[in-house]
């Protein structure tokens, strides 16, 4: 059985780390934030702790609980994914992935897997902070190359524009 102070540490760690991931989403104006992500991680840790409670008689209950958390959070994440009517741009994938990761970190907190919790929280922070910058840089580069190709294509289609008659 997990003693009370250890359970408090696990639940608190899940809520704080989930809240930190939510802060990134909040700062970027996304539909989930500190409260949503903190609650997702806290709830995930809580169900893992409950599955380990000595009142349970099924040793496989923990595995089923973790599977249920990951599946259930997938539906929550699906609710933040939006596609514009033209179908050309999808929004919310990073937020949905962050919700899923937050639940996984909550599960790891519930299990007391501290090296996994710390490593995944640090990597999540790096990806969320620096990944957005890298995506913007790559997007700008792609737009620049697309414009260059469009200009070259326009010139190739209109040869009279290259050497106008005198």
Q: 49 lies in a domain?
A: yes
Residue-level pLDDT at 124: 92
* Count of residues in the chain: 166
Taking the CB of residue 31, how many other CB atoms lie within 10 A of it? 14
Quick check: is 51 in a domain? yes
153 domain-assigned: no
b/e sequence 126-158, b meaning 16+ C-beta within 10 Å: ebbeeeeeeeeeeeeeeeeeeeeeeeeeeeeee
Residue 122 lies in a domain: yes
Number of domains the chain is built from: 1
- Any alpha helices (H) in 28-113, and if so which ranges? 34-51, 61-78, 93-111
pLDDT for res 65: 85
Residue 67 within any structural domain of the chain: yes
Residue 91 has what DSSP assignment?
Answer: E
- What pTM value is reported for the model? 0.68
pLDDT at 50: 80
Q: Any idea what DSSP says for residue 27? A: H
Question: What average pLDDT values come out for the chain (166 residues) when binned by 10 residues?
Answer: 87 94 89 87 88 70 85 82 73 87 92 91 90 81 70 60 57
Containing structural domain, residue 80 = 4-130
């Amino acid at each position: 059985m997990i003693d009370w102070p250890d359970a408090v540490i696990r639940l608190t760690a899940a809520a704080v780390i989930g809240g930190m991931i939510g802060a990134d989403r909040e700062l970027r104006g996304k539909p989930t934030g500190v409260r949503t992500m903190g609650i997702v991680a806290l709830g995930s840790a809580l169900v893992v702790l409950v599955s380990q409670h000595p009142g349970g008689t099924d040793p496989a209950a923990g595995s089923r609980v973790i599977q249920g958390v990951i599946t259930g959070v997938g539906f929550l994440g699906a609710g933040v994914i939006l596609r514009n009517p033209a179908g050309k741009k999808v929004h919310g994938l990073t937020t949905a992935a962050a919700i899923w990761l937050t639940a996984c970190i909550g599960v790891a907190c519930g299990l007391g897997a501290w090296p996994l919790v710390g490593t995944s929280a640090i990597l999540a922070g790096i990806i969320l902070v620096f990944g957005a910058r890298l995506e913007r840089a790559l997007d700008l580069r792609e737009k620049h190359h697309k414009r260059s190709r469009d200009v070259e294509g326009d010139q190739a289609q209109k040869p009279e524009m290259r050497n106008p008659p005198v």
